Structure 1
């Protein structure tokens, strides 16, 4: 999702999505550790989305 799309969302939606992304990253790490992960490209995508959510929250003045 692009930063513009994140900026159009409410604070609650952004926080909820950030929590979901953090949980998904955790699940990817668990699958990677157990050898069930086929592609590691998802790590980068999820990390970038988490960074975008944090950036937009910071822009909106939420700490």
Structure 2
């Protein structure tokens, strides 16, 4: 499953980058998925980051 951050929704709390720095980083005041880490949507920490994102900007798509 793929993970991405919707920049239209993200307001830059950096919560994702603090929770899972191996997958997310903070760039230009927005959370983004690190290059090459897009296929980590099944990771429990990534799923939790998506659930806890205050702007609900983290999206997980695709079937496992």
The answer to whether TM tops 0.5 is: no
Q: Which has the higher helix share?
A: 1
TM-score between the two structures when normalised by the length of structure 1:
0.29
